[in-house]
Amino acid sequence: MMVLQLIGLATSAAAILAGRRGIAIGLWLAALFGTLALFAAHATSTLNLDF
């Protein structure tokens, strides 16, 4: 799933180089929120360890 954020950031970088500032900011924010959502999902899950 992390590849989606990396694709978003790469596309955002391409939009910056193309001079499309609004699209670049939108893609960057979408990648940021996606990263935070994945972090929240992983950080709150429990590990079922049995020793």
Give yes or no for a contact between 30 and 22, defined as CB atoms under 8 angstroms apart.
no
pLDDT of residue 15: 96
pLDDT of residue 43: 83
Roughly how many angstroms between the first and final C-alpha of the chain, as a whole number? Answer: 30
Query: Where along the chain do its domains lie?
Result: 2-39
Give yes or no for a contact between 4 and 35, defined as CB atoms under 8 angstroms apart.
no
pTM: 0.76
pLDDT of residue 2: 78
Residue 8 and residue 24: Cα distance in Å, rounded? 9
Residue 6 and residue 13: Cα distance in Å, rounded? 11
Here the tokens at position 13 are 């970088």
pLDDT of residue 16: 94
pLDDT tens, the chain, 51 aa long: 779 889 999 999 999 999 999 999 999 999 999 999 988 888 887 778 888
